[in-house]
Amino acid sequence: MRPVSRSGPSIRFRGRSFVAMTLVADASLQLWLEDFDVWLQRSPGFFTGRTVVLDMAGNAANKAEVERWIAELAARGVRLVGLEGVRPSMVDASMPPILNGGRDVSLAGPVTSVGKAPPAPEEPRKPAEPVNMIVESRVRSGQSIMCLEGDVTIIGSVASGAEIIAGGSIHVYGTLSGRAIAGATFGTKAQIFCSRMEAELIAVDGAYKTAEDLDGALRGQAVRVWIENDALRLAAL
Q: Tally the residues of the chain.
A: 237
- Mapped onto helix, strand or coil, the DSSP state of residue 149 is coil
Q: Residue 129 in contact with residue 150, Cβ under 8 Å?
A: no
Alpha carbon 58 to chain centroid, angstroms: 19
Cα–Cα dist 153/174, whole Å: 11
Query: What residues pair up with 236 in beta bridges, in sequence order?
Result: 223
Measured between alpha carbons, how far is 148 from 20 in angstroms, rounded to an integer? 10
Nearest to 180 by CA among 207, 151, 200, 150: 200
**Cβ atoms of 197 and 221 closer than 8 Å:** yes
| Res 219: pLDDT | 92
Tell me the C-alpha distance between 148 and 127, whole Å.
17
d(CA 204, CA 185): 10
Write down the pLDDT at residue 87. 87
Predicted TM-score of the model (pTM):
0.60
pLDDT at 101: 63
What's the start-to-end Cα distance of the chain, in Å?
A: 79
Per-residue pLDDT of the chain (237 residues; tens, 9 = 90+): 565 555 555 666 555 566 677 888 888 888 889 888 887 877 766 777 778 889 887 778 889 999 999 999 999 888 888 888 888 888 888 888 888 765 543 323 333 333 344 444 455 444 455 578 999 999 999 888 988 889 999 999 999 989 999 989 999 999 999 999 999 888 899 999 999 999 999 999 888 888 888 888 999 999 999 999 888 999 999
Three-state DSSP state, 71: helix
Closest CA to 45 of 136, 114, 119, 144: 144
The answer to whether 232 and 225 have CB atoms below 8 angstroms apart is yes
